[in-house]
Amino acid sequence: MPRSLVTGGAGFIGSYLCERLLQEGHSVVCMDNLSTGENDNVAHLQTKRFEFIPYDVTRHIDLEGPVDYVLHFASPASPEDYLRLPIPTLKVGALGTHNALGLALKKRATFFLASTSEVYGDPLVSPQSEAYWGNVNPVGPRGVYDEAKRYAEAMTMAYHRVHGLNTRIARIFNTYGPRMRFGDGRAVPTFMVQALRGEPLTVHGDGGQTRSFCYIADTVEGLFRLLMSDNQEPVNIGNPDEMTINDLARLILEITGSRSPLLYQSLPIDDPKVRRPDITRAEQLLHWKPETDLRNGLMKTAAWFRERLERSRVEGKIN
Ligand code: UDP
């Protein structure tokens, strides 16, 4: 039975990954300091093959016994979170990655880095292929996340080149689905909750900036295939279906049947104007592409948010 360590395993993507690895027959150790992850995300993983260790991976990591895969997913990942936690974000990308690599080397495990489309910054080319080096402002507020992940990629490649460690790098683009945190500040959960509560949808800037949203089940499939592949180069995992934030807001209004207005607010500093993955490499190497269209994915997501809001309303009444 393979044994996997998932750092950040109680986070949005990390928790689905734990679930998938368990389904594939792995035993899974989830490490998370719950700074942005949530116990609720892994509470349903009740099996002897699953272990949760509350831990901050910016400190030295040790684990008894064999480990076959180390998947480093620990990090604040929404702009609001990493702007609120700039130093922990830098530390988990730098020290956390180094510690996780060190453990992988000691155990001769395969190391998997959750990197991000943010390594491309505010891109000057679109779509972004893995060959693009990016356009990042190192001293801007988003630099704490972008540069930490760029450092993490560099460190991962150094361990691969120097120590011959088996490594993978996934550049994950915008992902959405059930289990996103209510207050994480990202467009999808923010608009969903606002629409369901009948509050105005807070669109940043003129809403003309674009993103490409991938449903969580598709993202996890791509990540798992990359883990099982034999490819050391970075691979974009995302959905190339690009849209403006205005169109996203309108689609969420339609799907939730909400009549909330759009409320235009200032654009955050260095907010990328466009983002769209070129997934040719993933298609060729992993035979992977997203299957869920945005409307279907958003409908599933809306059902989950509706249920959660109702539950917290009822609990609020009881308390
Ligand atoms: N956005 C918005 N209103 C919100 C939250 C986000 O208009 O309440 C915008 C944000 O400025 C960005 C896009 O939606 O242009 C996607 O933001 P998100 O935080 O989801 O992730 P990002 O792609 O910026 O990492």
Residues 118 and 93 in one domain: yes
pLDDT, position 312 = 86
7 located within any domain: yes
Cross-strand partners of 111? 70, 167
20: domain CATH number? 3.40.50.720
Q: Is 164 left (phi over 0), alpha (psi -120 to 50) or beta?
A: left
212/164 Cα distance (integer angstroms): 34
Whether the predicted model's global pTM rises above the 0.95 cut: yes
For the record, the structure tokens of 165 come out as: 């460690």
Q: Which residues pair with 50 in a beta bridge?
A: 28
First to last CA, the chain: 44
Do 90 and 142 reside in the same domain of the chain?
Answer: yes
pLDDT in the model for residue 317: 63
Average pLDDT over residues 213-230: 98
- 232 and 248, same structural domain? no
In a domain, 90, yes or no: yes
281 lines ligand 1 (CB under 6 A): no
pLDDT band at 182 (very low <50, low <70, confident <90, very high): confident
Query: Does residue 196 share a domain with residue 268?
Result: yes
Ligand 1 pocket check for 190: Cβ under 6 Å:
yes
Six token digits for residue 276: 């769209």
Span 305-315, average pLDDT: 90
Cross-strand pairs, 215: 176
For residues 5 and 17, what is the distance between their CA atoms, to the nearest angstrom? 11
Residues written for the chain: 319
Q: How far apart (Å, rounded) are the C-alpha atoms in residues 11 and 92?
A: 14
- Considering the domain boundaries, does residue 284 fall inside one? no
Task: Domain count for the chain, please give it.
Answer: 2
- And the tokens for 38? 């949530």
Residue 182 forms part of a structural domain? no
**Is residue 281 situated within a structural domain?**
no
Are 257 and 205 contained in the same domain? Answer: yes
pLDDT band (50, 70, 90) for residue 161: very high
State if residue 156 touches ligand 1 by the CB under 6 angstroms criterion. no
The answer on 200 and 137 residing in a single domain is: no
Q: Are 131 and 68 part of one and the same domain?
A: yes
Question: Is the confidence at residue 170, as pLDDT, over 80?
Answer: yes
Give yes or no for residue 38 having a pLDDT over 60. yes
For 267-295, b/e burial (b = at least 16 CB within 10 A) is beebebebbbbbbebbeeebebebebebe
Question: Same domain for 248 and 122?
Answer: no
For the chain, percent of residues with pLDDT exceeding 70 = 99
| pLDDT value of residue 160 | 98
175: β partners: 214
Please indicate, yes or no, whether residues 11 and 87 belong to a single structural domain of this protein. Answer: yes
Position 117 in a domain: yes
Q: Identify whether 151 is part of a domain.
A: yes
Q: Residue 202: which CATH number?
A: 3.90.25.10
CA 211 – ligand 1 centroid, Å: 8
pLDDT tens for 54-99 read 999 999 999 999 999 999 999 999 999 999 999 999 999 999 999 9
Residues 186, 118: Cα–Cα separation, whole Å: 14
The answer to whether the beta carbons of residues 248 and 188 sit under 8 Å apart is yes
Q: Which residues of 188-201 are buried (b: 16+ CB within 10 A; e: fewer)?
A: bbbbbbbbbeeeeb
Nearest CA to ligand 1 atom 11: 204
- Is 145 an active-site residue? yes
pLDDT surpasses 60 at 318: no
What is the torsion angle, in degrees rounded to the nearest 10, for the CA atoms of residue 123, residue 183, residue 263 and residue 136?
-20
Atom of ligand 1 nearest to the CA of 268: 11
Q: How far apart are CA 228 and CA 277, in angstroms?
A: 21
In a shared domain, residues 160 and 255: no
- Whether residue 265 has pLDDT greater than 60: yes
> Average pLDDT in the 149-160 region?
98
What does the alpha-carbon distance between residue 204 and residue 258 come to, in Å, rounded to a whole number? 19
Residue 316 pLDDT exceeds 90? no
Residue 203 has pLDDT above 70, yes or no: yes
Nearest-angstrom CA–CA distance, 282 and 57? 29
Residues 153, 113 contacting (CB under 8 angstroms): yes
Query: How far is ligand 1, taken at its centre, from the CA of residue 264, in Å?
Result: 12
pLDDT of residue 155 exceeding 50: yes
* Structural domain for 86, as ranges: 3-176+214-237
> Which tokens sit at 98?
């180094």
Q: 315: pLDDT confidence band, cut at 50, 70 and 90?
A: confident
CA 203 to ligand 1: nearest atom: 7
Please tell me the distance between residue 174's alpha carbon and the centre of ligand 1 in angstroms. Answer: 10
Report the separation in Å between the CA atom of 142 and the middle of ligand 1, taken as the mean of its atom positions.
13
Which residue among 16, 69, 120, 145 is the active-site one? 145
Residue whose CB lies within 8 A of the most ligand 1 atoms, among 271, 274, 275, for a mutation test: 271
**Pocket-testing residue among 211, 248, 298, ligand 1, by greatest number of atoms within 8 A of Cβ:** 211
Question: What's residue 319's pLDDT?
Answer: 42
Residue 181 belongs to a domain = no
Regarding whether 272 and 255 lie in a shared domain, the answer is yes
| Angle (deg, nearest 10), helices 187-197 and 245-256 | 40
φ, ψ of residue 256 to 5 degrees: the values are -90, -5
User: 84 and 168 share a domain?
Assistant: yes
Q: What is the mean pLDDT of the chain?
A: 97
- Ligand 1 mean position, distance from CA 66 (Å): 41
Minimum-distance ligand 1 atom for the alpha carbon of 207: 7
* Strand ordering across the sheet containing 3-7: 50-54, 27-32, 3-7, 69-72, 110-116, 167-172, 234-237
Ligand 1 atom with the smallest distance to the CA of 245 is: 14
